[in-house]
Chains A and B, each alone.
Chain A
């Protein structure tokens, strides 16, 4: 499963090897919490929604946090987006819900980074040009 196999994988996500084997073969379904840990361990290559056989829905909450919620029988799985990432996404015009639905937190982070680099492309190049021309203070004072 996305490079995660055997006893090491089971230990990494905190489950018994026999249970892990069942999940790998599709004979067992993980709990919502375990599904979240697997998603985190695979950097989102395997999503909790996929493991639970569900469609992700997204709901925005207060205090700058955005969560993705899976309906799973009577339980809900919530993936919290850090406030700083939520604010950066809003500032850069990244649609949080779309990116979370597409691939979870890793996809959202990548989209925000891409948008950041695009917005500041000229500013970053201008800074690099200045350093090429003048060098740095550390160089000037022989600190490197």
Chain B
């Protein structure tokens, strides 16, 4: 069962840790899902307001909302955890992507 803010492997894609599911659980059975890519390492400085620092399994990562994307659900790899504890930071970054500041 997929849930919002689950973290999925993307089968070794690029320099990504994986992707975080942004679509709400009610839409998790659609064949396309909206995800934000999560990169290794902390955000670059100065940090764009749409970059969220992620703490996961003792490491730092960065969710970059300018790269928010719709991808086929079938392309998601294994679920590697979730980052629901940081849902407010993630929602705030999404708001900022829309509102500007």
Task: Pick from A85, A137, A141 the residue with the most CB of B within 10 Å.
Answer: A137
A87 within 8 A of B: yes
Chain A contacts for B75, CB-based, 8 A:
141
User: A55-82 interface mask toward B, CB cutoff 8 Å, 1 = contact, 0 = none?
Assistant: 0000000000000000000000000000
Residues B101 and A112 in contact, CB atoms below 8 Å apart: yes
User: B20-55 interface mask toward A, CB cutoff 8 Å, 1 = contact, 0 = none?
Assistant: 000000000000100101000000101110000000
Residues B44 and A143 in contact, CB atoms below 8 Å apart: no
Residue of B19, B46, B66, B70 touching A127 (CB-CB under 8 A): B66
B80 within 8 A of A: no
A86 to B24, CA, bound (A): 32
A88 to B99, CA, bound (A): 11
The stretch among A6-14, A18-26, A36-44, A118-126 that forms the contact with chain B is A118-126
Interface members, chain B 46-73 (any A CB < 8 Å): 46-48, 64, 66-67, 69-72
Known: A119-B46, A126-B44. A140 touches B13 (CB 8 A): yes
Chain B contacts for A138, CB-based, 8 A:
69-71
Chain A contacts for B19, CB-based, 8 A:
137
Closest Cβ–Cβ distance, residue B31 to chain A (whole Å): 11
Residues A120 and B72 in contact, CB atoms below 8 Å apart: no
Residues A137 and B48 in contact, CB atoms below 8 Å apart: no
Chain A contacts for B66, CB-based, 8 A:
127
Q: List 27 A-B contacts (CB under 8 A).
A: A84-B99, A87-B101, A113-B100, A116-B100, A120-B46, A120-B48, A123-B46, A123-B47, A123-B48, A124-B48, A127-B48, A127-B64, A134-B14, A136-B67, A137-B35, A137-B37, A137-B67, A137-B69, A137-B71, A138-B71, A141-B69, A141-B72, A141-B75, A143-B32, A143-B69, A143-B71, A143-B72
